Every structure is written in structure tokens, then in C-alpha cells.
Amino acid sequence: MKSHRPYPTATVTPKAEKALRGGHPWVYGAEVVALAAPAGENGAARAIGPDEVPDGAYVDVANAKGAYLGTGFISHGSKIRIRLVTHNANDRMDAAFWERKAAWAWDYRRQVLGDVDATACRMLFSEADGFPGLVVDRFGDVLVTQTLSLGMERLKPVVFPAIVHALAKAGVAIRGIYERNDVAARSHEGLGPTCGWWPMDGADGGAIVPDPATPGAMAPLDAVPSPDPDATAYGPAEVEIVENGVRYHVDVARGQKTGFFLDQKYNRRAVAKLAHGRRVLDCFTHTGSFALNAVAGGAAHVTAVDISAPAIEMAKRNARLNGFMAEGADEGERIDFRTENVFGLLTDLEASHRKDYDFIILDPPAFTKSRRTVDSAARGYKDINLRALKALPRGGYLATASCSHFMDTERFRRMLWSAARDAGVQLRQIEERQQAPDHPIVWGIPETDYLKFFIFQVV
């Protein structure tokens, strides 16, 4: 790089260069071969050690010949050493840069979802939107965030206001930002759990700690405000959303992940279309989303099952909210709920030979979050699918999903083929689907392609 740059430079291996040029934004620790201080006016740069580059700071990335590959933030203790935020050497990583990126992300959601569906959507999908390690879900006038990288943690005082500003310019008013940083992945970056309301300053989204005109301005960790779980200025930590015409209570403070799983939005609509007149078993129902779509689609009856009692209670609240159950009731004419282990329930159904259901939905949590345990996960997926197939009558329907990136599509297909063979049935594929487009799959970043969803008829 011949032009003067304000950041240290990390020289990377040819393997890393190939991945970066292919669109992947990560550099792993073993791929960094040298660090150099910013070049002086005479173009000279001296070699430096990791202790001279603060965790979370911006660094330029270059190949062995000095060709610029991108700029990102570094985390010395993480396996993912550098996460790129840009491939453009002309970018200034100031507040305007992040606001532009947030505006592009929001414009995309409005275009692919439409204004109605965008009222509850994933606004930022981390690396897929160029915000490495940041997830932002919109639930009406509340944003719920998870910050999983050290660099983004230090950038929150710049990035959070930029997001709020971008939405405000698009006519979307945000009353509060709730942080759900209670995920184990933060420990990989040396970050602890924090939850609560981000301290917004009116409509500004919070004071910007660094000078926004300074390229690459970034707050030290001890200057990043802490969220307040007990703040009352932002209103209740529960909101109501509408998806596919179905209403839901979303508890952003205590619900799983950010409070609601948005990625199955259109898969739930596909299930509703097929559920008419059927007896449906919704396994791993969580807060009832597939079950309620099935009722709305005209199912004869739906049984919703989850091992979590709090999840079932929220699912019941959602059923009452939609008029599918009377206030105070625990079941309705066309829906009932069971707090039960799905594996045990499917085993009992298989053994009974009664064929109580002619449509079974399997939407389990991720059975694996690493490549090391994918074989065990495959056995778990096969177990529930095999038992479901044995419990269904000929002509019945199965909707089945995996939300694990490591359980790739080809392996999931092989598992389903094996389960069908062992069940002595054949599968007639109706649809193969994936996550909703507000969780965009970016070619070159395979981690963004994670949700598999199939609908079959059993023949």
C-alpha cells in the first residue's frame, strides 16, 4: 500500500488472501504473519507486536506484496483474529460510514419484505450486512441487539446512534434499544454478559463517545455505556408484533435469543397453507408460531409441544391474543398445549400405532454449534425424523428443519433419506426452503447459509 494509512497493517497468508478476495470477511489467527505500525510520511513502517495494537482496534489487511485487501478490527484472543468491515481503501470508518451501511441494510429489508413484514424483521445480520458480530432485530418500535465481537462492542457508541438515525430518516421511530448480550459466544472475545436498555439520548440513539469526524473513531471499552435492565424511560420490555396476520407477544428481556425467531417467517406461511383440515402436531413449538399459523390456516386441530413451561405459557398467551382460546383457558376448540419432551412423545406415538396426527412439524433448536459434534447431531435429527415418519399415516405430511450451519444441506438430505428408508416409507418433496431474506445468504460467506426446511408427503 503506497498511500499513507492511519491504521496498523496485518500481513496475511495466501490462504487468507484467497478467502478475502472470495468475499469472506474473516482472518484467522494462524493466517496473520506480521504486524506493522502505520507508515510514516516517508512510507517506512516498522514491525510491531500484538501488544502495540489494542484489542478491537482497526487494522488494514494486506498480502505479502503489500496489496490492500481490506480494513477490519482485530481481537488478539479470538480464533477469528480480524473481521473486515470494508474492502474499500477510501472508506472512512466514521459515523456517516456506519449510517450509510445501516440505511442500505434497511432499504434492502423494505424492498424484499415490504413495509408490513419489515415491522418485525432482522435489520442487521452481522457479517451478511457488513456489521461483523452484530445482530439487530426490529420488533415494532424496539430494536433488540446482540454484540458478539470486541470491535463492535467498542463501536456501539457510534453504531447504535447511526442505526437509529438511518431508521429515523426512513420514517421509523425507535423508542429503545434492548441489548441481549447473554450469549456464550461473547466469551470468545473476552466479553462478559450484559443485558438491558441502551442509554439512548432522546431520538439520537445515545451520545457518540468518540469524535464522529475522526476516521476509525472507537471508544475504549471502559467508556462504552452499560445497559440498564431496570430502566423505565423506554417503556415495557415486551412488545406486540404481527407476522403473517398472526399476533404475538414478544418478551425481549426474557425470551430466547432476541425474543422471537424471525427466520422462519415465510416457512410458517407455507405450513399454514398446507394445514387446512389437518390434525397437526407442532414439536418444539417455543412460543407457538408454527402452531398458530396452522390454526390460522384452517387446521382441524393443533397440538403444540415444548419442554419449556415458560415457552408454553407464552404460546398460550399468543393463542388467546389471536382469539384461538378464551381468556383464562389453557386450550381452545382447535388447539391444545403440552409441556413435554418431544423425543418421548414421538416414541409413544410410534409405539401406539394410532396415527393421531396427519401433519407433524419438527423445528428443533440447533443440535450442534460446532463441527466436532455434527455426527452426534445427525443422529439426533435422524431419531426425531424417523419417529415422526413412523407416527404419520400414508399420505400424511412432514415439515422438518435444522437451524445449524454445520448440519449442511447435503448432510441433512442424507439423514432424511436414511430416516425414510428405516421407516419403510418414501418421501414426496413438496418444498425445499431456507431462512427468510431478512437473514440474507451471502455467497462467499457460508456461515450465513444455515436454515434448512423441507416439506414432504409420506407415500
Angle (CA) 325-295-356 rounded to 5° is: 100
Of 113, 46, 45, 458, the C-alpha closest to 269 is 113
Number of C-beta neighbours around residue 185 at 10 A: 13
Angle (CA) 337-338-343 rounded to 5° is: 135
SS3 call for 7: coil
313-334 CB burial, b ≥16 within 10 A, e <16: ebbbbbbbbbebbeeeeebbeb
SS3 call for 103: helix
Cβ contacts of 338 within 8 Å, gap of 6 or more: 303, 304, 305, 312, 345
> Chain-centre distance of CA 58, in angstroms?
25
Contact in structure between 284 and 365 (CB atoms under 8 Å): yes
From the candidates 121, 195, 283, 403, give the one annotated as an active-site residue: 403
Q: How far is CA 95 from CA 92, 167, 175, 198, 209, in A?
A: 9, 14, 21, 18, 11
Amino acid at 257: K
Residue by residue, DSSP assigns 284-330 as T-TTTHHHHHHHHTT-SEEEEEES-HHHHHHHHHHHHHTTSS-TT-S
196-228 CB burial, b ≥16 within 10 A, e <16: bbbbbeeeebbebbbebeeebbbbeeeebeebb
Active site residue 403: yes
The residue to which cell 456517516 is assigned: 96
What CA–CA distance (Å, rounded) separates 91 from 215? 9
SS3 call for 163: helix
Number of C-beta neighbours around residue 415 at 10 A: 22
Number of C-beta neighbours around residue 4 at 10 A: 11
Active site residues: 403
